[in-house]
Amino acid sequence: MTKMLIVAPHPDDETLGAGGTILKYKQEGKKVYWLNATNTKEEYGYSKSKKLKRDKEIQSVNEAYNFDGFYNLELEPAALDKYPKVEIITEISKIINKVKPNIVILPYEYDVHSDHKIIYECVYACTKSFRYPFVKRVLCMEILSETDFSDSDKGFVPNYFVDITDYLDKKLEIFKIYESEIGEHPFPRSLENIKSLAKFRGASCGVKYAEAFRLMKYIEK
């Protein structure tokens, strides 16, 4: 049984970067797990209503995808640089060893958001073959408003595509759950822009709509 773990720095990153792929893999009978790194909590300065709203969004998204497992580190958003990386790696390692995924999807190394960079480093450290031999494929996802603002000499160049033609509409419906993250075009995280990116990536690989990834490791037996 193929198992995939998607690691999102923040709630909504999983849908922006791999929502169609999640839906496709679930439809194909694969087991899919979601690890979220951060959350809004009152101790981080967020209001109780904000926390309750975000918790409800996470629950609704979890149910919409019908994930086989959900994990939340609940670290402080936009502040991951204050945590020792070894602590984050330790917690991620525990989850990866529990799930034992064959496929791991993580943020792109050069995303502009510092949380994305840190989660990339911490997750990638947990994909070494001699410690995690069950991990056979590692993919970096493309996240609107973060990946597209990476340094020009380190821009995202995809080499792995997933046809999500049959799943784009559902992906957009799920993203609507994150009401506070949606804006109108030209805001990057608009429904129009999500669809446009999927269309552009589809044209790159000969399908109507696609999600693009950067393949970091692939082990075939």
* pLDDT tens-digit series, residues 43-72: 998 999 999 999 999 999 999 999 999 999
* Span of 31-40, 55-64, 146-155 with lowest mean pLDDT: 146-155
What local confidence, expressed as pLDDT, does residue 153 receive? 78
CA-CA distance, 129 to 120, in Å (whole number)?
17
Contacts of 179 by beta carbon, 8 Å cutoff, 6+ apart? 57
Tokens 């792995």 sit on residue: 160
CA-CA distance, 50 to 217, in Å (whole number)?
38
* Domains, the chain: 3-161+211-218 (3.40.50.10320)
What local confidence, expressed as pLDDT, does residue 221 receive? 79
Tokens 């805001």 sit on residue: 187
Return left, alpha or beta for 82; rule: phi > 0 is left, psi -120 to 50 is alpha, else beta: alpha
Q: What is the reported pTM? A: 0.96
What local confidence, expressed as pLDDT, does residue 52 receive? 93
Q: Please, which pLDDT band fits residue 220 given cuts at 50, 70 and 90?
A: very high
| Bridge partner residues of 14 (DSSP) | none
What local confidence, expressed as pLDDT, does residue 150 receive? 74
Query: What integer is the mean pLDDT of 147-172?
Result: 92
Q: What percent of the chain has pLDDT over 70?
A: 100
